Amino acid sequence: MTTPVETAATHYVPENLPTHIQHYINGEFVDSVGGKTFDVLDPVSNTNYATAAAGQKEDVDLAVAAAREAFVNGPWPKMKPRERARILNRIADAVEAQEARLAELETFDTGLPITQAKGQALRAAENFRFFADLIVAQFDDAMKVPGSQINYVNRKPIGVAGLITPWNTPFMLESWKLAPALATGNTVVLKPAEFTPLSASLWATIFKEAGLPDGVFNLVNGLGEEAGDALVKHPDVPLISFTGETTTGQTIFRNAAANLKGLSMELGGKSPCVVFADADLDAAIDSALFGVFSLNGERCTAGSRILVERAIYDEFCEKYAARAKNIVVGDPHDPKTQVGALVHPEHYEKVASYVEIGKSEGRLLAGGGRPEGLPDGNYIAPTVFADVAPDARIFQEEIFGPVVAITPFENDDEALALANNTKYGLAAYIWTQNLTRAHNFSQNVEAGMVWLNSHNVRDLRTPFGGVKASGLGHEGGYRSIDFYTDQQAVHITLGSVHTPKFGSIEAAAANEG
């Protein structure tokens, strides 16, 4: 077992925690119509600190009805872009003003280290500022045939957007969907993850105080198979944006088919981090460690398969494992903590089971189970397996925790074959000083996003999404605008109308002649 720097867990509890979390529908906090609730626990003590209203079909119906009314008869979709942008910027101001409180609640609810949670609030604010700027600068195409015709694109919001979000960095990931959906004039129903409903409940007050009209934002808590399922199947919800694991995404795909809904789904990942012998080894190790162990390893873009060229394989493994053993595991609220508690006992058991599987599929270099000195809570030491075969489960399957598999390769062709040898295709990380290899490899790897000699840095203007089992569609920048709007083509004749005169005397005479 790895002995962590932190040898004892504490249980920090923020002040003024709610004991009950409600839905937010048409500008009011409400309980479920049928009174159903579910328990919410924190991952350090694994004790319940609150109940949350458990949304059912009737609750989703009420939320969708409110959102639909706000879309059809409310002012939001008809506002000028600048008017909506002002409200979005006020939302960003409010998020920034609550950064410390948001980070405190997010850390308590998710087990995310406090230093990493603080950055999430600022990123959430930036998402709103970005789309506030984008909708003001937005323009659409106009095509002219001189003296004959002009054609232009009328871009307009689609309606009620159903947003289903995950439990890892929930507040920030909610902002990725909320900001573009609202910016483009849609109304929304948000269904946050049942493991982490705490920070999502803050959106209601933030939006209300920023001047968002009632009914534009609605929130229904609940289980995916109940509230999420009802939202996906609702006929008055033409759009679903979902972030989560692939099996759930497949279910959503099937259930959305009946109403031909627009879908944007960012799903699972098993992303390769490919390190060639000519790479800056220290920089690659820094990135490969951060890429899988930050956010407790609970990140879809984690580089959880590290492929290393044989010439530097032994050196890489030795240095990587030594660093992994020194990662600070402990109380998520301690600023020194680098890996906190996994989000929920169910997820802890899943990750722990993969650690045990890995002991028969690879050579254990670091970690391997619960850290010493942390007998309670959902803690797993950063775990490193080497010599992992490409058909191993820990190579093929998404673990979503602080567990990494390292595999050697001999040449570029083998590296590419190994990188593409999973059903997933979300991200890839390439480390090499060879410019030709870097571009050729990045263009041939089966991944929606590639970082060359870089860790996971997100530019909000670029598309975000995966290929294969990692997703459907892309969001980010103008791709988000495209997803949340209809592009209506309008055609206008500028001169005389020249249309074949079916059924006329002239047409009959012409045919006789």
Residues annotated catalytic, as ranges: 266, 300
CA distance linking residue 238 with residue 258, whole number of Å: 11
Q: Cβ atoms within 10 A of the Cβ of 145, count?
A: 11
What sign has the CA pseudo-torsion 352, 356, 359, 362? negative
Adjacent-strand bridge partners of 243: 266
Distance from C-alpha of 264 to C-alpha of 472, rounded to nearest angstrom: 6
Q: Residues near 476 by Cβ (< 8 Å), separated by ≥ 6?
A: 460, 461, 462, 463, 464, 465
CB-based contacts of 414: which residues, under 8 Å, 6+ apart? none
Question: In whole angstroms, what is the distance from residue 513 CA to residue 506 CA?
Answer: 11
Q: Which tokens in the block code for residue 492?
A: 């206008």
Most distant pair of Cα atoms in the chain: their distance? 99
CA distance 333 to 199: 16
Cβ-count burial of 434 within 10 angstroms (0-12 exposed, 13-18 middle, 19+ buried)?
middle
For tokens 């969907």, the residue is 177
Q: 192, 165 in Cβ contact below 8 A?
A: yes
In sign, the C-alpha dihedral spanning 80, 81, 84, 86 is: negative
Closest listed residue to residue 339, CA positions, set 172, 114, 45: 114
- Separation of alpha carbons 188 and 177, rounded Å: 10
- Count the Cβ atoms, other than its own, within 10 Å of residue 198: 24
Instruction: State the DSSP code for 503.
Output: T
Q: Tell me the β-bridge partners of 138.
A: none
d(CA 59, CA 65): 10
- Considering only CA atoms, which of 211, 227, 275, 247 is closest in space to residue 430? 275
Count, residues in the chain: 513
Show the beta-strand stretches assigned E in 410-475: 427-431, 449-452, 471-472
Measure the CA–CA gap between 460 and 479, rounded to whole angstroms.
10
The backbone torsions φ and ψ at residue 377, rounded to the nearest 5 degrees and listed phi first, read: 85, 170
Helix (H) or strand (E) holding 191, with range, is strand 187-191
